[in-house]
Amino acid sequence: MLGIKIQKIVLSVLAMSMFLSPVLTHAESTGTGSTAARQAADQKAALAKKAAAQQKAAEEKQKAEQAIQAPSEAPKEKTDEK
């Protein structure tokens, strides 16, 4: 009686491992780590591009403000009066 129970347990374990092994093999071969790394790199590049665009816009805005202020702050020309 005990031998039959052990055989059933062994067969159950073997059957479970047989059914789960393709799933485990497939999960390892999908390369989810490299996909996550690629997505992180893409996100980092997008953030860097956005920061560069914001920096450029801020510089252009500063130049425009300086251009507006420049004529009013320009030194007045000396006139020769004799």
Q: 59-68, pLDDT tens digit by residue?
A: 999 998 888 8
Give 69-78's long-range contacts (Cβ < 8 A, gap of 24+): none
Q: Is the dihedral of CA 13, 14, 17, 18 positive or negative?
A: negative
User: What backbone phi and psi angles, to 5 degrees, belong to 66?
Assistant: -65, -35
CB-based burial, 1-21: b 16+ in 10 Å, e otherwise? eeeeeeeeeeeeeeeeeeeee
- At 4-58, the pLDDT tens digits run 888 888 888 888 777 777 665 555 555 556 788 888 899 999 999 999 999 999 9
pTM of the shown model? 0.43
Q: Where are the domains of the chain?
A: 33-64
